[in-house]
Chains A and B, each alone.
Chain A
Amino acid sequence: MAVTETTEVRSSALGLRLERHVDWMIIIILILIIGAASGFTLAVTMGDWEYWVDWKDRRFWPLVPPVLMMIFPAAVLGITWTKLRIPFGATFAVFSYTLLKWVSLYFNFNVFAGFPMSMVWQSTFIPLAILLDATIVITGSVFITGFVGAFLWGVLMYPVNWVMLAGFHEPILYNGELVTAADLMGFEYIRTGLPEYVRMIERSTLRSFADTVVPLTAVFAGFLCVLVFYVSWAAGTFLCRQTWVKKV
């Protein structure tokens, strides 16, 4: 009897240790997979806005990156919430992406290509992801999380990153022309295949709403983020319904 109990205790302790090992193994693998997958997807869809400081404008930068960035965090949050009730999916996805992106930026753009890091830094989405995760904890509602959390994601992307960008938009008089530090870096640091006109940035248009650009873009980005959140959430929860998960 005593032998059986000891065996059970040992077995239980061994099981817990194994489960902890499995946790770490899965977490490390997921960091690499989610970071690499989202990094690749986002590089081919919004890459330039996230590489170059002279692409971070008032119209497309607050719109394209947050909307596309929403895809993986919403899907991962959908999985971790519905299957595990662990509300860190969005933060985990963004954390993985950001970590690997810094490695990529440093080696690809700074070490190999020779661009200064001040020209090729990335935006941060971590606070937006925390807000998204926190919303679902507080409300317990996917609908409200999409409506509030995802909307905040789109709206707040610009103010979150303005801390890093503002200095690059300080005016400089250069050879008799008004430019910004970001423009000047784009001009000076030679990119043979990336001429000035290729940049997809704000051009002058007829505007209303007292000449505002960023607030309108941010609100529009918020609406799109809400839509993308629901679609990605649904895709994530659908794609994680493998039968082997039930057997664990």
Chain B
Amino acid sequence: MEETNLLFIGAILSIALGGLSLRLVRRNENLAWNEAIAAHILCLMFITKGIQNAATGYFNEEVLSTDGLVWQFWLEIAFAMDYIFAASICSIALLYPVPFLRNIKQVKIGFSIIAGFIVFRLILDVVGLNFTALHIPGFVYYSSSLLWGTVYIKFRLAPREKRTDATRNIALLAGLFLTLVLGHVWMWWPGLILQSEYFFFIDLGGGSFTSTLWDFMWTSGYSIGIAAGLAIVSIEVYQAIKGDPNKLLYIIAPYFALGLIGYSIYSTGSDTGFVLGEGKGEVLELWSIFTTNLHFTIARPIIAMYILLKFGLFDINEKTKPMAKIMSIILIVVATSAILELIQSVIPINQMITAALLGIIIAFGIGWEEKSFHTLVSNPADLRKGVDKKWFPEIDIPRKYIHRIDWACLIYCLVALLVSFIIWQMDILVNIAIERGA
């Protein structure tokens, strides 16, 4: 139940932060073309991810209630939103921090392929080919690992004489994006290396709803993500020893450390990494909530906020500062209260004590926010100073075209709602479950 509640909290957080961020990003006229597109997509990604979290929460409730077939509607919305999440990740990785698409022709072709892929996936769902290998499950992990991974390697391992703060920031940003996408997967790395059931038995479809090939493609995405993560953490340790530490090490090292603890916990049970639905052990459920689910719902919005503030994607001035501060406070209050609620569900602390604790933590959080917010916005990380201009091609894309991405996303969401409704009314997922013997 806590898992579902956490999904709803994550939904509120993602939608609120995504919406407010989008307002600020739309007002920022100083961004380069690739930054503007990436910032728009990042905000939209969080709004749609919020919708996905809420849909998954409702799906969990419907499945547990075993009453009616409306779960099909929620499941399809969740996956339709996941399609846009995957496409967003791929789009951002192609443009930011370093654009892989270097002229307007490449941008048009690249975005057409991505948009076409989303529509293709949605069409597959409508015609009853849901959860097939044609969806290319795991695509998001492949694209992010390869694109951001290569950018990270290129700039983090640049020759010492070419290494500047900007190259470190590019590597940090690529690493942060990889953490955002792959953080939960990194907590299962011993499972991949040691051939554990909790990793290799991961089956998001549950039984025969998804084919073995589908499960393979999905976990294959995890494996490349883990490989990228292991490479990054090794390089960060190496560079730190060599006297060139980066704060990325402190961000990703806990994920890998939690992976070691998680190995001993998962190995005691028969559940897989994604501990889903009923019948899971209490310890496994708690571990899953405090690691995987917390990453999905709390850590991701925090990382996204940090990226938006630290890398100058918001134009913070006297007019926009109050809204940016509201966002930081929402993040602190919602995240703190959610974590305390979770702790209270495990350790039965008196509610008056947790209320007082909440007040104290929020007071400290807001006090800290004053200081850290000022530090973040007054000292944005530069990505270009001292870096060869060849990495940042100039393309003239009018801002009105970039703003149209928001409308395209809105239209997609409405179409996804319609498709989900049709799938529910036609019992497409129920029929698939029967056909596949799920």
A joins B in a complex: no
Chain A residues near B (Cβ < 8 Å):
none
Chain B residues near A (Cβ < 8 Å):
none
